[in-house]
């Protein structure tokens, strides 16, 4: 007998692909379904509505939706972080090849998920670091990372912030890479698992065991086996560049899965620098699963 879990994600999870390849879902009694979410507000609305049980999301999204109603949904969503997934998977400020100088970048049309999202605030911090005031620029809201990558490839946007397979696709298309999240902070936390508070602990424990086993296999198995497994999902996931992102100790998958308040403070510091809402340390501690 298996228990159904619906996981809402922005792009294909290599961990889920590995878990299915290894039959970990059956081992741990989970009927795992995935669905794409359109944006961070859409993802957290789906959590509220019960359309998804688990979110693969930026921890900054959890800060914004779980600790205040000052967010696009105008309500506080009662969720908790239960595991770190990765350190950003190469999260990078990317532009089209014609954007060659800082002056070009200052005049470029850039896109974000939503203007108050964590990735957007990180992008603004990156712009600041190269001497550009983001308040003097206009940003178009384009939703999820894959949607922003498509806008970049089609020439509908001149730049954005990308990671994972979207970053690999941009690299293959000859886009310009400016700087990464690791250049902003060596402790940048890219993606986490978040669940509604009150979710059955036995179910959470089973999901975490599945996630840990799949993560260890992705990090330790022969690279050719990992590439073959992920390539069954899509060719770009099976590429050497993507597997390298997963295994990069500075930006790749988190073996331990631990999250602490110091990790979340990095995101809060970015928020404060940008003049955005930032939760208290007590609120941060309440988000981190024991």
DSSP string of 2-28, one letter each residue:
-EEEEEEESS--HHHHHHHHTTHHHHT
For residue 7, the cross-strand partners are 34, 54
Determine the straight-line distance between the first and last CA of the chain, rounded to whole angstroms: 28
pLDDT value, residue 114: 86
| Domain ranges (residues) in the chain | 3-87+189-239+251-287, 92-184
Q: How far apart are CA 29 and CA 40, in angstroms?
A: 29
pLDDT value, residue 226: 98
Number of residues written out for the chain = 290
Q: Which of 68, 64, 25 is nearest to 43 (CA)?
A: 64
Q: How far apart are CA 289 and CA 286, in angstroms?
A: 8
For residue 177, give Cα distances in angstroms to 22, 36, 141: 35, 26, 21
Q: Which of 165, 204, 202 is nearest to 289 (CA)?
A: 204
Look up the CATH number of domain 92-184. Answer: 3.40.190.10
Helix, coil or strand: residue 258: coil
In the predicted model, residues of the chain with pLDDT beneath 70 are: 289-290
Listed in sequence order, the DSSP H helices in 50-177 are: 59-66, 102-106, 118-129, 145-153, 164-172
Block residue for tokens 């859409």 = 42
| Rg of the chain taking only CA atoms, in angstroms | 18
Q: How far apart are CA 94 and CA 109, in angstroms?
A: 12
pLDDT value, residue 290: 60
Which CATH fold topology does 3-87+189-239+251-287 show? Answer: D-Maltodextrin-Binding Protein; domain 2 (3.40.190)
pLDDT value, residue 289: 59
pLDDT value, residue 225: 98
pTM for this model (two decimals): 0.91
Asked whether the beta carbons of 148 and 142 are under 8 A apart, the reply is yes
Q: How far apart are CA 282 and CA 289, in angstroms?
A: 13
Q: How far apart are CA 35 and CA 33, in angstroms?
A: 7
Instruction: Give the neighbor-by-neighbor strand order of the sheet with 159-162.
Output: 139-141, 110-112, 159-162, 92-95, 176-180
Determine the longest span between alpha carbons in the chain, in angstroms: 60
Number of other CB atoms surrounding residue 228 within 10 Å: 12
């Amino acid at each position: 007998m298996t228990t159904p879990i619906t996981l809402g994600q922005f792009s294909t999870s290599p961990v889920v692909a590995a878990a299915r390849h290894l039959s970990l879902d059956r081992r741990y009694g989970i009927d795992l379904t995935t669905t794409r979410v359109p944006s961070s507000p859409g993802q957290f609305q789906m959590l509220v509505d019960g359309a998804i049980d688990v979110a693969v999301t930026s921890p900054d999204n959890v800060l914004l939706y779980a600790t205040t109603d000052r967010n696009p949904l105008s309500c506080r969503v009662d969720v908790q972080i239960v595991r770190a997934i990765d350190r950003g998977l190469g999260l990078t400020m990317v532009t089209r090849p014609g954007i060659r100088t800082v002056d070009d970048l200052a005049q470029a049309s850039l896109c974000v998920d939503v203007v108050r999202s964590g990735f957007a605030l990180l992008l603004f911090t990156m712009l600041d670091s190269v001497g550009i005031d983001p308040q003097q620029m206009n940003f178009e809201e384009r939703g999820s990372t894959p949607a922003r990558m498509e806008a970049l490839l089609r020439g509908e946007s001149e730049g954005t912030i990308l990671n994972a397979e979207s970053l690999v696709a941009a690299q293959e298309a000859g886009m310009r890479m400016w700087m990464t999240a690791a250049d902003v902070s060596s402790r940048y936390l890219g993606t986490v698992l978040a669940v509604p508070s009150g979710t059955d602990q036995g179910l959470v424990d089973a999901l975490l065991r599945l996630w840990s086993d799949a993560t260890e296999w992705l990090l330790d198995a022969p690279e050719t086996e990992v590439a073959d497994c992920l390539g069954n999902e899509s060719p770009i996931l099976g590429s050497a560049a993507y597997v390298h992102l997963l295994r990069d100790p500075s930006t790749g998958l988190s073996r331990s899965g631990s999250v602490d308040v110091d990790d979340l403070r990095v995101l809060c510091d970015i928020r404060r620098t940008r003049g955005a809402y930032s939760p208290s340390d007590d609120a941060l501690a309440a988000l981190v699963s024991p």
